[in-house]
Amino acid sequence: MPDNLFGLDREGLAAALSPYGLRPFHARQVYRWLYARRAYAPAGWTDLPRRVREAVDQDARVDPGRIVRRTEAKDGTVKVLIGLADGHAVEAVSMVQRGRVTFCLSSQVGCALACDFCLTGRMGLTRHLTPGEIAGQVALLQDDRPLEDPGFNVVFMGMGEPLHNYDGVLGAFRLLTDPEGFGLGKRRITVSTSGLAPAIERLAEEPERPRLAVSLNATTDAQRDRLMPINKRYPIERLLQACRRFAEVSGERFTFEYVLLSGVNDTDEDVRRLSALLRRAPAKVNLIPFNPVPGKLPYLPPTRERVLAIRDRLLAAHLPASIRWSRGAEARAACGQLAVLEGEA
């Protein structure tokens, strides 16, 4: 019996349940109990024989994780700290804006990429999350705040670099989009990457894939090297090559995310270079004013007027641009603020 049934696909469940004499269709039934119905007590799996339910209840663990702390911001954003079976923890966020619910998920305990403006990067990388630990965040957020509309969105923009944990994230994506699982449409899920070019190209070849967002945040290699060390391995031109390949193979547009840091990457020259980059790739840009973390990160956001001016310059050049204003910052739940630092778990 595996350590945890939650997170297994149908084949994994069939293998785990075979010692009890169950057939593959029983694994399909358990699959629906776990993911579509979020029923974790085997005693409640009423379409399985009683003896099997009792045996599985005794032998198996069904664990999507547990919420150990919950923080709610004034705008309705909820951040939860989720405890994992090995004692580690990750953060996940539920946001509501104009009636639309979005879950922001973590893919790793910490992150190896050490982006200078991201608090998670201060943790370093502890380990990847399993598909069950990722999908479990969705289950816990759903149960924490039941939704009237089941069609919520998911973004992999929490702790960790999703494409560094490629297999874990794609495994969770399949659970989330399976009609007999969580039942989400694949277009409702977005993966954000710091720029792992080969993984972007690999993602393009998947038969089913999430939307892609690429965290750019600089317009020269020298600048991006300082802000995002991954650029030393995959500089901007290599990243653009991978992005164009993704668009060509998948037939899908993608998004550049650009975190605006006052006096660092928001000058007129930066805007001019950003415009040139956007003309070279089938992408839109999402401008994100930096969410400050006083005493922990040394950056500040531009003024609101400057953010609007940058957006307007891009629009005037007939380039698609939008602004993602902060949600949940006072709960340290906004973009770039998620981390489990020493003494906080």
Residue 335 annotated in active site: yes
Catalytic residue of the set 91, 133, 161, 257: 91
**Same topology between domain 10-59 and domain 66-331:** no
Catalytic residue of the set 111, 115, 118, 335: 335
Joined together, the tokens standing for residue 276 give 């040139």
Cα 119 to chain center, whole Å?
15
**Look-up of token digits 């946001």:** 95
> Where would I find the beta strands (DSSP E) of 98-152?
100-104, 108-110, 125-128
User: Residue 113: what pLDDT?
Assistant: 95
User: Residue 337: what pLDDT?
Assistant: 59
Length of the chain: 345
CATH class of this structure's domain 10-59: mainly alpha
User: Residue 336: what pLDDT?
Assistant: 60
Residue 91 annotated in active site: yes
Cα separation of 313 and 26, whole Å? Answer: 58
User: What are the residue boundaries of the structural domains of the chain, listed by start?
Assistant: 10-59, 66-331
Digit-by-digit pLDDT tens for the chain (345 residues) are: 557 999 999 999 999 988 888 778 889 999 999 999 999 999 999 988 888 888 888 888 999 999 999 999 888 899 999 999 999 999 999 998 877 899 999 999 999 999 999 989 889 999 999 999 999 999 999 999 877 666 799 999 999 999 999 999 999 999 999 999 999 999 999 999 999 999 999 999 999 999 999 999 999 999 999 999 999 999 999 999 999 999 999 999 999 999 999 999 999 999 999 999 999 888 999 999 998 888 888 999 999 999 999 999 999 999 999 999 876 555 555 566 566 655 555
φ/ψ of 249, rounded to 5, equals: -75, -45
Pick the CATH number of 66-331 from 1.10.10.60, 3.20.20.70, 3.40.720.10, 1.10.10.10: 3.20.20.70
